[in-house]
Amino acid sequence: MTFAPIKLPYEENALEPVVSAKTISFHYGKHHKAYADNLNNLVKGTPYENASLEEIVKKSAGNDKEKGIFNNAAQVWNHDFYWQSMTPKGGEPTGKIADALKDSFGGVKEFKEAFAKAAVAQFGAGWAWLVKGKDGKLEITTTSNADTPIAHGKTALFTADVWEHAYYLDYQNRRPDHVKDWLDKLANWSFAEKNL
């Protein structure tokens, strides 16, 4: 099996001004592609060679001997998921996802405040996630580097990338502003609801 980044579900300039075409060209065209290229080289001749991306992530998680495979596979998976977590038609959640946010956090406003706080507080490189816990309630979690909720048996609903390369060209060191704009203007609630 050969791994490659998913096709973007929008044009490179579609998320402007929150995420510029220049950021996407580096982030998607260089960073994400490099993870896929590295993974293809790392799995050649291993038991992972014909496995799905999700299988590789789950089976290599926590194995120090397979850290390189895990990091690259998880970053391909995380990024594929991240591109789908955004839409140029972002706005406020409705329907089942809005009800689930209200049930789990008290409302959309409360969720956004808690998610932004977690995303901004994530030290260094990482991700902020909306996930469905084992009890069916929604939770906010963060992961460092390539770590991902699917390696821990959780169902991801959407994610915000808070590695600097995801926002630095557009926001410099203003991660809080980027996260707020991301939630208000780009969060793909229909994708989150589909994953619910």
The CATH class, in words, for 21-84 is mainly alpha
pLDDT of residue 134: 80
pLDDT of residue 147: 97
Angle at which helix 108-121 crosses helix 95-105, to 10 degrees, equals 70
pLDDT of residue 167: 94
Cβ–Cβ < 8 Å for 53, 76: yes
pLDDT of residue 133: 86
Fold classification of 95-195 is minor pseudopilin epsh fold (3.55.40)
pLDDT of residue 1: 78
Alpha-carbon separation of residue 89 from 75, 174, 188 (angstroms): 25, 23, 8
Each of the 196 residues of the chain gets a pLDDT tens digit; together they read 799 999 999 999 999 999 999 999 999 999 999 999 999 999 999 999 999 999 999 999 999 999 999 999 999 999 999 999 999 999 999 999 999 999 999 999 999 999 999 999 999 999 999 999 888 899 999 999 999 999 999 999 999 999 999 999 999 999 999 999 999 999 999 999 999 9
57/60 Cα distance (integer angstroms): 6
For the chain, where do the domains classified as CATH 1.10.287.990 start and end?
A: 21-84
For the chain, where do the domains classified as CATH 3.55.40.20 start and end?
A: 95-195
pLDDT of residue 136: 84
Task: Say what the pTM is.
Answer: 0.95
Q: What HEC string does the chain produce?
A: CCCCCCCCCCCCCCCCCCCCHHHHHHHHHHHHHHHHHHHHHHHCCCCCCCCCHHHHHHHHCCCHHHHHHHHHHHHHHHHHHHHHCECCCCCCCCHHHHHHHHHHHCCHHHHHHHHHHHHHHCCCCEEEEEEECCCCCEEEEEEECCCCHHHHCCEEEEEEECCHHHCHHHHCCCHHHHHHHHHHHHECHHHHHHHC
pLDDT of residue 15: 98
